[in-house]
Chains A and B, each alone.
Chain A
Amino acid sequence: DAGVIQSPRHEVTEMGQEVTLRCKPISGHDYLFWYRQTMMRGLELLIYFNNNVPIDDSGMPEDRFSAKMPNASFSTLKIQPSEPRDSAVYFCASSLRFFRETQYFGPGTRLLVL
């Protein structure tokens, strides 16, 4: 069974450009989480969804960040416009509703904004 799939694995862009990160959760999982990992702030939860509905976006750093989950098998995290301080590794994770203590992480997307 495939795990959580993220694309792209690496992204290099210039400041001001729009960046879209993609995630496909494990089939049947109804919770999806987006995390960001930086040297300065460590690993932090940005937003999570239950059955495609955003539940808590309190970790989203600012309005330049947005996340959507149009269906149960796909989510996007968009940054517009991107800034150098957005450079980080972005992880997506998914879980079952009653087993949210077991989250399966994707391989991450390493984003570099020049």
Chain B
Amino acid sequence: AQTVTQSQPEMSVQEAETVTLSCTYDTSESNYYLFWYKQPPSRQMILVIRQEAYKQQNATENRFSVNFQKAAKSFSLKISDSQLGDTAMYFCAFMLGGTSYGKLTFGQGTILTVHP
């Protein structure tokens, strides 16, 4: 079974600073996807960024970027120029391709607080 581990239960950062959230995963498969989801206090699950395992280039979405280290099975999220609206729970998630395509496995989450 695939597992996703987020070792930082809580993080905090000052507004405009940069913060990195860590995630490791375990799989023996080669065809998979990795995600970061944001869950603000409203509870809505929002997809922040996605990485396909076959792509070597790290995904970037505006202020959000990932550091995908496939050999180390590490998938960290970097948030640049942090904003108050970035305050939320962040979940790392994993999805296999093939017959399990569609099944998301989530980490335990990291609570990020951005301070003014």
Which residues of A pack against B, CB within 8 Å?
31, 33, 35, 42-45, 48, 55-56, 89, 91, 93, 95, 100-103, 105, 107-108, 110
Contact = CB atoms under 8 A, between A and B. Distances in A.
A48 B73 CA distance: 27
Contacts of B84: none
Given A31-B102, A42-B107, A48-B103, A89 B43 contact: yes
B43 A101 contact: no
Contacts of B104: 33, 35, 43, 45, 103
B91 interface: yes
Contacts of A105: 44-46
B45 A100 contact: no
A90 to B, nearest CB: 11
A101 B108 contact: no
B101 A43 contact: no
Interface in B29-83: 33, 35, 42-47, 50, 52
Nearest to A109: B43
Contacts of A44: 106
A43 B97 CA distance: 20
6 contacts: A42-B109, A45-B103, A48-B102, A48-B103, A105-B45, A107-B44
Contacts of B91: 43
User: Which residue of B33, B42, B50, B102 has the most chain A CB atoms within 10 A of its CB atom?
Assistant: B102
A107 B43 contact: yes
B106 A101 contact: no
Contact of A108 (B43, B50, B102): B43
B19 interface: no
Given A42-B108, A42-B109, A56 B103 contact: yes
A58 B43 CA distance: 25
B13 interface: no
Interface in B88-111: 91, 95, 101-109
